């Protein structure tokens, strides 16, 4: 589902020209402080989820964007060619990791050229970042001496290709050695110990390939993060992990780190003390299947939310952005009556039956 635009961050969606002859467009999310600028720029790049690129929805990295807007940055997040509502065809070079990274970096360069033409961008203070496949694309861009780009942030960068005959770790190491040999821009690498794609021995191999070829980078290898450190950047709780090291790097390369804009965190609904969160029998409207789902949900990580409806429907969401909105949407898809939040994080927020309509029991629920 697409989440609503965030007014706190002046979020908007723009279409950025790209490709040969600028005949393609990249669906791009823009966050920025209020006012005319010019603002230093964070150009952030997404990874690739399993499945067709076209089905991957617009990425926002809302927690990262919030921290950078607080520090006075504009943040651009382009969806690359063939992803989401960007036009063109996704570039796939199989096990050729260097070609894969360079193919994705073409779009990053087009987005960068667009940004430099905007009067709200301080073209002398730019950072390029990326997560997973986007981190590898950012390192590919760093082989060029791009004016105004002072550093690259590589969050769990790389690409895994599980195809017959593809020794993807070795292919990655070879590509990263090439990045290092032509590195022109300093980089910070951030990888967690329990990354589901890139385990610490592989991370060390990639970094040594890069640095051993002359690459200008520093590796921040942090410990385990929840169930999968590959998802640290998309987690609310991940900010405390990546932000301190990122601030040190930004300061080192002459980028702003002091908070200059106030962006309030969304207020959670108040705890109504309707019941203890572990009191499964107290959750209204649910049949046996729904109560089993709630029992399982209590083991999910925060941030999280669980919603119910008088129709008997239910829905939940954990981690990522706006789990409360996602839980309500998941519930509503199977409900003939309005859904309401029951639990948010550790708090029961159920207000009672006021405002709830009646409906038939036993409607299907789901998770988001």
Phi, psi of 258 (to 5 degrees): -80, 140
Element (H, E) at 12: strand 12-18
Give me the DSSP letters along 27-65.
EEEEE--SSS--EEEEEEE----SS-GGGPPPP--HHHH
Element (H, E) at 348: strand 347-348
Phi, psi of 283 (to 5 degrees): -70, 125
User: Which residue in the block uniquely carries the two structure tokens 């008088």?
Assistant: 310
Quick one: pLDDT at residue 361?
28
Q: Is the pTM of this model over 0.85?
A: yes
Quick one: pLDDT at residue 353?
63
Q: Residue 291 region, left (φ>0) first, then alpha (ψ -120 to 50), else beta?
A: alpha
What sections of the chain are H helices per DSSP?
62-70, 97-116, 133-141, 168-181, 200-212, 239-252, 288-297, 323-332
Per-residue pLDDT of the chain (368 residues; tens, 9 = 90+): 678 899 999 999 999 999 999 999 999 999 999 999 999 999 999 999 999 999 999 999 999 999 999 999 999 999 999 999 999 999 999 999 999 999 999 999 999 999 999 999 999 999 999 999 999 999 999 999 999 999 999 999 999 999 999 999 999 999 999 999 999 999 999 999 999 999 999 999 999 999 999 999 999 999 999 999 999 999 999 999 999 999 999 999 999 999 999 999 888 899 999 999 999 999 999 999 999 999 999 999 999 999 999 999 999 999 999 999 999 999 999 998 999 999 999 999 999 765 443 332 233 455 55
| Paired sense of beta strands 121-131 and 347-348, if any | unpaired
Q: Enumerate residues 6+ apart whose C-beta is below 8 A from 84.
A: 27, 54, 56, 57, 58
Dihedral of alpha carbons 286, 291, 292, 293, sign: positive
Tokens of 354: 């006021």
Quick one: pLDDT at residue 366?
54
Q: What is the dihedral of CA 206, 211, 212, 214, to 10 degrees?
A: 140
* DSSP annotation of 256: -
88-92 LR contacts (CB < 8 Å, sep 24+):
88/18, 88/19, 88/24, 90/52, 90/53, 90/54
Phi, psi of 190 (to 5 degrees): -125, 115
């Amino acid at each position: 589902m697409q989440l609503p635009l965030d007014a706190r961050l002046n979020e908007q969606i723009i279409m950025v020209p790209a490709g040969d002859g600028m005949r393609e467009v990249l669906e791009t999310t823009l966050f920025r402080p209020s006012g005319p600028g010019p603002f230093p720029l964070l150009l952030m790049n997404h990874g690739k989820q399993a499945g067709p690129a076209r089905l991957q929805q617009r990425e926002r990295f809302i927690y990262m964007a919030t921290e950078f807007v607080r520090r006075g940055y504009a943040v651009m997040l382009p969806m690359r060619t063939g992803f989401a509502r960007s036009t063109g065809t996704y570039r796939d070079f199989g096990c050729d990791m260097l070609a894969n990274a360079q193919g994705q970096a073409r779009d990053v360069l087009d987005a960068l050229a667009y940004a430099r033409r905007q009067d709200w961008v301080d073209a002398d203070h730019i950072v390029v970042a990326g997560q997973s496949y986007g981190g590898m694309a950012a390192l590919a861009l760093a082989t060029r001496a791009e004016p105004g780009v002072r550093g690259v942030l590589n969050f769990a960068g790389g690409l895994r290709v599980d195809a017959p005959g593809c020794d993807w770790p070795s292919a990655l190491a070879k590509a990263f050695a090439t990045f290092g040999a032509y590195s022109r821009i300093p980089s910070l690498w951030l990888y967690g110990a329990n990354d589901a794609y890139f385990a610490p021995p592989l991370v060390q191999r990639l970094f040594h390939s890069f640095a051993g070829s002359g690459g200008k980078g520093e590796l921040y290898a942090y410990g385990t993060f929840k169930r999968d450190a590959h998802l640290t950047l998309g987690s609310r709780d991940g900010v405390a992990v990546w932000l301190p090291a990122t601030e040190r790097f930004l300061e080192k390369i002459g980028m702003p780190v002091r908070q200059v804009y106030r962006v309030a965190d969304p207020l959670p609904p108040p705890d109504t003390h309707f019941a203890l969160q572990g009191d499964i029998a107290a959750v209204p409207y649910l049949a046996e299947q729904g109560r089993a789902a709630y029992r399982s949900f209590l083991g999910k990580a925060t941030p999280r939310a669980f919603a119910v409806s008088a129709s008997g429907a239910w829905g939940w969401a954990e981690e990522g952005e706006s789990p409360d909105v996602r839980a309500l949407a998941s519930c509503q898809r199977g409900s003939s009556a309005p859904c309401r939040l029951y639990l948010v994080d550790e708090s029961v927020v159920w207000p009672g039956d006021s405002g709830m309509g009646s409906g038939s029991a036993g409607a299907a629920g789901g998770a988001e």
